A and B are shown apart, each in its own frame.
Chain A
Amino acid sequence: MLYVQDGDLVIPGQLMGEKIRHDINCFHEGDKVFSSVRGIVRVEDNRVRVIPSSGGYVPREGDLVIGVITNILPGRWSVNIRSPYLCTLRGEEVTRDPLGVDLSRYFKIGDRISAKISMVDEVHSCQITGPWKLEGGIIIDVDPKRIPRVVGRRRSMLNIIKEKTGCKIVVGQNGWIWIKDKQTEFAIKTIKRIEREAQTQGLTDRIIKMLDKELSIKL
């Protein structure tokens, strides 16, 4: 039995239903199912899940993230991916002999990269693969839990921003977004607005309207 509807806002510890199936950000005690975070309820045939409205980043296998090289260790780099856990990039990703060569030839401390998380262990330490150096541009900070809204369903929102502003944008699931090219400031403004209004309805239309209006003023 459900006590909430699709789209309702819940807070931690709020009863959502009895004898129902539950997914992420929920927990159960006996037959009762509760929310564990503040967020929006999604109901899909007798199964509830909660989409959190804020929160930190915990590495997940397969995520594309943006990181900053923090240290060069024997045969590997350590990378800051904006999570409290250790993240390493193996030297084998770029060279056959990681212990023989000077790794700073490839990535120096402070270099920004985009990479995919290849493995996460029990204590959330992770390894990344396929590093790609991000030269120039700037990185902005967005709440990691609001990244899905910035990207949009099937990348629709991101494609709109890219098309209209002509920027190069790489979105990391960890909440860091790399932007490069002429209209950077404009893209940042748009992304910050999406972040702020992430839980509202009809956001895509408003963003298209805003982009068209601002671009027509510039032309």
Chain B
Amino acid sequence: MAKEDIELIKNGKRLDGRKFDELREIKIEVGVLSRAMGSAYIEWGKNKVIAAVYGPRELHPKYLRDPRRAHLRCIYNLAPFSVEDRKRPGPDRRSVEISKVSSDALSSVVMLEKYPNTVIDIFIEILQADAGTRCAGLNAASVALADAGIPMRDIVSSCAAGKVNGEIVLDLMKEEDNLGECDLPVAIIPRKKEVVLLQMDGKLTREEFKKAYELAVDGAMRVYKMQKEALISSVNDVIIGE
């Protein structure tokens, strides 16, 4: 499809009728997997992501063991059926990169020093992808970590902003991501608004970057509220009885 074929912004509205600073619909479920220590499922627009936490458990290979802190291992995997053209299964350059930046982002909030010599394994499975999967995966993973009862300094919240047809917009969908000019995923620690992940694909001027960054942080704060709600309701909504 040629770039000119789709009009991404029409009468001040985006392709799916959203405003520039509007998020897609988000649904978070906690504790969806019974065998995992903690798990979470997130539906973010058309994204469907499941995250599971196993551990702290024994770390193999042994040479990675650190007697001062735990090792946090994050594995991001895009399912073969998650995208339009079948994706070749297994890790590729992109998955390895996202695994690395996600585990770095989560390492900054988890109190790793409480579990020396062990590993905390996080698996992020993308069941359906529609742009912004690393943000959705990171949000699901931090909810799953809290569900696993692993001590953390805060929860990681994440959201992307970008530039489409010269306009700075929040939370890009697939068409906007593919045909737009720039994508800027940001992950923050909501309490202090510290940045734990920031990547940029495309070009922005200084002013545009500032605007996009502020928009993404605002979006992440809104996601944080949903994460908090999901975590609290998962404990409160226990069905009493058989």
Contacts and interface: CB of A to CB of B under 8 A. Distances in A.
19 contacts: A11-B231, A12-B109, A12-B151, A13-B154, A25-B151, A27-B111, A34-B191, A38-B231, A54-B148, A54-B149, A55-B148, A56-B149, A84-B58, A84-B119, A85-B117, A85-B118, A122-B67, A123-B117, A124-B115
Chain A residues touching B, majority SS = loop
Interface of B: 37-38, 55-59, 67, 109, 111, 114-119, 146-155, 189-191, 227-228, 231-232, 235-236, 238, 240, 242
A199 interface: yes
Contacts of B191: 13, 15, 34
Interface string A1-38: 00000000101110100000000010100000010111
A27 B152 CA distance: 10
Contact of B152 (A13, A56, A193): A13
Interface of A: 9, 11-13, 15, 25, 27, 34, 36-39, 52-56, 58, 84-85, 122-124, 145, 193, 196-197, 199-200, 206
A58 B119 CA distance: 14
A58 B151 CA distance: 13
A114 B34 CA distance: 26
Contact of B115 (A54, A84, A193, A199): A84
A38 B235 contact: yes
Interface centre among A37, A38, A53 (most CB of B within 10 A): A38
Contacts, number: 96
Nearest to A15: B191
A12 B240 contact: no
A123 B116 contact: yes
Given A9-B235, A84-B58, A200-B238, A38 B116 contact: no
Contact of A58 (B38, B115, B154, B228): B115
Given A54-B38, A84-B118, A199 B149 contact: no
A37 B235 contact: no
Max count, chain B CB within 10 A of own CB: residue among A12, A27, A39, A53:
A12
The 9 closest A-B pairs by CB, nearest first: A55-B149, A13-B154, A12-B152, A36-B151, A54-B149, A84-B118, A123-B116, A84-B57, A11-B231
Contacts of B190: 13
A25 B111 CA distance: 11
Nearest to A143: B149
Given A38-B146, A38-B147, A84-B117, 9 more contacts: A11-B227, A15-B191, A37-B150, A37-B151, A54-B37, A84-B55, A85-B118, A124-B115, A197-B238
